[in-house]
Structure 1
Amino acid sequence: MENHTQTTRQEDVTSNPAPLGLMGFGMTTVLLNIHNAGIFELGSMILAMGIFYGGLAQVIAGIMEWKKGNTFGTTAFTSYGFFWLTLVGLITLPKMGLSAAPEKLAMVAYLIMWGIFTAALFIGTLKLNRALQFVFASLTLLFFLLALADYTESVAIKHIAGYVGIACGFSAIYAALAQVLNEVYGKTIAPIGPMKK
């Protein structure tokens, strides 16, 4: 008796979660780095963005990328979503009396670890597109500049990092909105660069 095995491939009709993750990352990054550039103080606006848009929205986007089988997107969005939540925790836990504020070297180590992680993901973007390459390259530079600013306690370096962060955040916003507009119009309205084979 012959055994016929039939496989069925289900078409993926879910939407692209990357613009949500990139917007959550980009807008929150711009706002925090306007503060780092010395333009306004750190307050509840940045903390709320860090919890809800930079944090939870990116985690949701990461879970959606997992559903689509995108390991890079899952790792990036989920990790940076929790980065924002940990950053808010580092700021608020000491103020709530739940923990001591981190030592200078602890924050330097924190930022360096995120810089190393981001540099590794940047290598992954070399197989993706130009827009993401810029986002991850500038983000890597941002983490190392922030670590250097904390280590040296240099206001000037922190301000430079702030402007790098603003550029990084806006590049992520561009990458997000380009994908949305290109999909809506069914053609390239805003180029993001070729995908590598």
Structure 2
Amino acid sequence: MSDIEKGEIYDNSRRFATAPRPSTIGNPASLGLFSFASTTFILSFYNVTVDGIAHPNVVVGMALFCGGLAQLLAGMWEFPRGNVFGGTAFTSYGAFWLSFGTIFLPGTGILAAYENAEELEHALGIYLFSWFIVTFMFLIASLRKSVAFIALFGFLSITFLLLGAGKFTTNATVSKAGGAFGIITAFVAYYIGLADLLAAEKAAVVRLPLGAFKHD
């Protein structure tokens, strides 16, 4: 075998070894978005004290299993598809909901550790402000994606900011405003999730525009 033939075999084997394998994983975005939207929708209605509801404990189950576990799985499935943004976002907010639900589980003793109500409110305020920072970073990353994603992370940033401010100021009106923006955020997430679900269908009844930006 000549050196030229050996070189060709080496080049071919190297090319095949490094060729990316096509992903057979379906788009998990709708799962993540519906899970996020539903949990946010419920908690936001509690935040605006609909029907006088002032305690968010009923959302704990949703936070742990829907907003938390389902989103975490969606994020893990996004990474093999090469979607770093989706994987990071879904995993992050899945972790957020898991941590949020854990706070309200009596067995953790987290709430019971605070004997001073004001201290607890401020601690929750810092917690929410940290997620405002994370969400604002996602907003920056979404600026070249689509109008829908800009709206989603824009409204979510405002939601976290208002909820954090409401905890620090103990101002119920500010917290209710955060809940109102949370409801808007939930509906935007529902819209994007439905748009992705319909886009995956070969014969969808309708297609929903996301206002995606064209890239050269």
Aligned partner of 1:158 among 169, 175, 190: 175
Question: Which residue does the alignment assign to 2:152?
Answer: 135
The aligned runs of 1:71-150 (5 Å cut-off) are 71-92=84-105, 95-96=106-107, 98-99=109-110, 100-101=113-114, 103-150=120-167
Rg larger in structure: 2
Aligned partner of 1:28 among 39, 50, 56: 39
74-83 vs 3-12, which moves further? 3-12
Normalized against structure 1, the TM-score is what? 0.91
Question: Which residue does the alignment assign to 1:60?
Answer: 73
2:91, 2:212 → 1: CA distance? 25
Question: Which residue does the alignment assign to 1:49?
Answer: 62
Question: Which residue does the alignment assign to 2:212?
Answer: 194
The Cα of 1:41 is off from its aligned counterpart by 4.4
- Report the number of matched residues: 195
SS where residue 184 of structure 1 aligns?
Answer: coil
Question: Which residue does the alignment assign to 2:188?
Answer: 171
1:171, 1:159 → 2: CA distance? 19
The Cα of 1:186 is off from its aligned counterpart by 5.5
2:201, 2:104 → 1: CA distance? 39
2:169, 2:155 → 1: CA distance? 21
The Cα of 1:13 is off from its aligned counterpart by 3.0
1:36, 1:49 → 2: CA distance? 15
Q: Is the 8 A contact 1:22 1:176 kept in 2?
A: yes
Q: Which runs of 4+ in 1 moved over 4 A?
A: 185-188
30-39 vs 95-104, which moves further? 95-104
The Cα of 1:103 is off from its aligned counterpart by 2.5
2:161, 2:77 → 1: CA distance? 30
Q: Is the 8 A contact 1:129 1:196 kept in 2?
A: no
The Cα of 1:34 is off from its aligned counterpart by 0.4
Structure 1 stretches lacking a partner, 5+ long = none
Q: Deviations over 1:115-168 (max 9, x none)?
A: 011001101111211111111000000000001100111111111111100000
Q: Is the 8 A contact 2:121 2:170 kept in 1?
A: no
Root-mean-square deviation (CA), in Å?
A: 1.8
Q: Is the 8 A contact 1:25 1:53 kept in 2?
A: yes
Structure 2 stretches lacking a partner, 5+ long = none
Q: Deviations over 1:69-105 (max 9, x none)?
A: 211111111110010011111122xx33633147222
Normalized against structure 2, the TM-score is what? 0.84
SS where residue 96 of structure 1 aligns?
Answer: helix
Question: Which residue does the alignment assign to 1:16?
Answer: 27
140-149 vs 126-135, which moves further? 126-135
